[in-house]
Structure 1
């Protein structure tokens, strides 16, 4: 969480040492490892100045002898992929994420009752964040995704000029987490950028908000669901979450009218013709709200309230906060969008997307998981299939493509 995707130029880091990027990778591990090991040895003093004991430092770096090349690959190749708005939401708010969210709501109800009572944050928002951040913990089981936080952050601090300052700060925080005894070094795992646990907190955010909800003396967001959900709730509460209020409303806009930018009261928006899609009035009419139309005037429109801004403190992106809100509403049983996103094709259900992947695999176009999530691998497979048939290679996971596959 709270990590921004930016490009990296590792060559600029190595240029200062008179090394080319090609030499760095072609000279073999000995050259790279020697420099990294020297960096680890020198950073020990920096850690000590920030309150990390020598014993903790040595324990953390035991066995960490070289950089993690996959971390650098992920850091270097973070394309600014401008996906259509429907693509982002279709992969996050769907039948499966809603069904599992409702299952988790039942399974963890006693804890959700306590967390909601203590922090005032709607349980469905917490479940939606859990889904968005780790697919309800499923990614924590994936060794290809989860890796040593110490090694990942040390790799970035050593070899990534643009992320070095961030990584050094996060590495110190991670070492302090280890020193506190909340987690042992073998379980101090996270994403390539150091986001940790079920609710994907970077180390400094963990330090600020982590909660021992289950009372075992450790703030364990890796294996304790109560700790992870309470930690997310604590972040939202401390950033101004308004208990008993929503994140926003889907609304209908009167045709042919322009609207002011910025916030107005919900009552004011209603007075100029902006109404809820379900025909009900706005509770708390004096509350301020801002109009958002992420898919243009032809797509769904929303009035976003204070809690929408609070969700953005978790991840400062409108799409993220809106996906959390929409998923939370569906888990709670309030229903989905009335005005759907503008798609140039017929949408598939989650199960139909899995079938699409299975059929593409059977024909030799796709070799990924049948997970219903349409990423670059699925889109490339669809395009290859479309090219073979002489169709426009748009890569869309459409009913048109699935129907054609069913006929083959």
Structure 2
């Protein structure tokens, strides 16, 4: 989550992080390790002043001998998201995520019933968050992604000037989690920036919102799906989630006209010529909403209600909150967008994107997983194939590229 700090919140530290990394890499391993160990020794006193016992600190750092260079690399390269809007949604709101979400809804129905009753948060929203944050827990099984949270945060606190204050605060919070016994040090795993568990909470947010709904005596968002989903629901509920209300509506704009950049009652938006995309009436004309158009006037448009703002307390990005809302609606069976995102190519289905990766691999262009997610490795492979085929090298996962690969 990055309440869960978002990548956007973390952008802008390239110079500071780059300098820190360069200084570390320029030193010999022995001297660099010694300097880090001196920092750890000094931070021990800070932790104890914050109520962390010496035994807890020593246990947490028992196997932390040096920094994690990959954490500094990831921190160094965190630009604001500049890819086309369709790229963000295509990799998050797709038929595989919907199908898995529906399967998880059936599998975890008794717990979802309890969580929804207790917190008043729509189960489909929780399933969508679970998908967005950890691919329904699959990410937690990836040793290349999951890291020792204590080592990661100590690395940032020691080696990244821009994130040092954040990392020190989160590190103390992580040590408190160990001290309370919710998880042991060998299982305190998370992302490079310390986000943890099925629903990716940073340590301070875990402390504030974590829930032991299973009654095990431990708030275990790493191994307990019910605890993780209840924790996400608790965050949303405590930040003002309105039970029984939607996050917003896809709408159709009139051909001409300008609209105010502020919230208005839905009835007033309707008076300005804005209607629901599928023609249904708004549920409550007095409900306040804000117009959002992420892909220009020719792309999909939305009227966002209070619950959209609550989703942004989980992650402050409009794209993130909208992706959660759209995925939740599809899991619930409400259907996808009426007006799709603007793309300069013919879109592939999720299965077709997996086929694209497989065919690129068979021709020697791609070495990654056939996961249907088009990231940097997939785009580079597509461009390499396009270059050889004499096509424009745009890296788009298009039907045009797949059709040519099928003929090879």
TM bracket (short chain):
over 0.9
Structure 1 residues 51 and 356, CA gap change in structure 2 (3 angstroms) = same
Q: Which residue of 1 aligns with 2:162?
A: 162
Q: Which residue of 2 aligns with 1:330?
A: 330
- Output the aligned Cα RMSD: 1.1
Q: Which residue of 2 aligns with 1:25?
A: 25
The aligned runs of 1:239-254 (5 Å cut-off) are: 239-254=239-254
Q: Aligned partners of 1:361, 1:81: CA distance in 2, in Å?
A: 27
Q: Aligned partners of 1:296, 1:159: CA distance in 2, in Å?
A: 41
TM-score, with structure 2 as normaliser = 0.97
Q: Which residue of 2 aligns with 1:9?
A: 15
Paired residue total: 402
SS at the partner of 1:104? helix
Q: Aligned partners of 2:116, 2:24: CA distance in 1, in Å?
A: 51
Q: Which runs of 5+ in 2 are unaligned?
A: none
1:390 Cα deviation (Å)? 1.2
Q: Spell out, residue by residue over 1:308-367, the C-alpha distance to the aligned partner (whole angstroms, 9 max, x if none).
A: 000000000100000000000000000000000000000000000000000001111111
Cα pair 2:293 2:302 within 8 Å, conserved: yes
The aligned runs of 1:245-394 (5 Å cut-off) are: 245-394=245-394
SS at the partner of 1:38? helix
Cα pair 2:17 2:72 within 8 Å, conserved: no
Q: Greater CA deviation, 350-359 or 22-31?
A: 22-31
Q: Aligned partners of 1:81, 1:324: CA distance in 2, in Å?
A: 17
Q: Which residue of 2 aligns with 1:17?
A: none
Q: Aligned partners of 2:226, 2:58: CA distance in 1, in Å?
A: 31
Structure 1 residues 384 and 373, CA gap change in structure 2 (3 angstroms) = same
Cα pair 1:265 1:286 within 8 Å, conserved: yes
Structure 1 residues 22 and 122, CA gap change in structure 2 (3 angstroms) = closer
Cα pair 2:17 2:159 within 8 Å, conserved: no
Q: Aligned partners of 2:65, 2:197: CA distance in 1, in Å?
A: 24
The reply to whether residue 238 of structure 1 matches residue 238 of structure 2 is yes
1:78 Cα deviation (Å)? 1.7
Q: Aligned partners of 2:399, 2:147: CA distance in 1, in Å?
A: 37
SS at the partner of 1:302? strand
Structure 1 runs (4+) deviating above 6 angstroms are: none
Q: Spell out, residue by residue over 1:260-315, the C-alpha distance to the aligned partner (whole angstroms, 9 max, x if none).
A: 11000011111221111111111121110000110010000100000000000000
SS at the partner of 2:10? coil
Q: Aligned partners of 1:205, 1:161: CA distance in 2, in Å?
A: 22
Q: Aligned partners of 1:10, 1:271: CA distance in 2, in Å?
A: 51
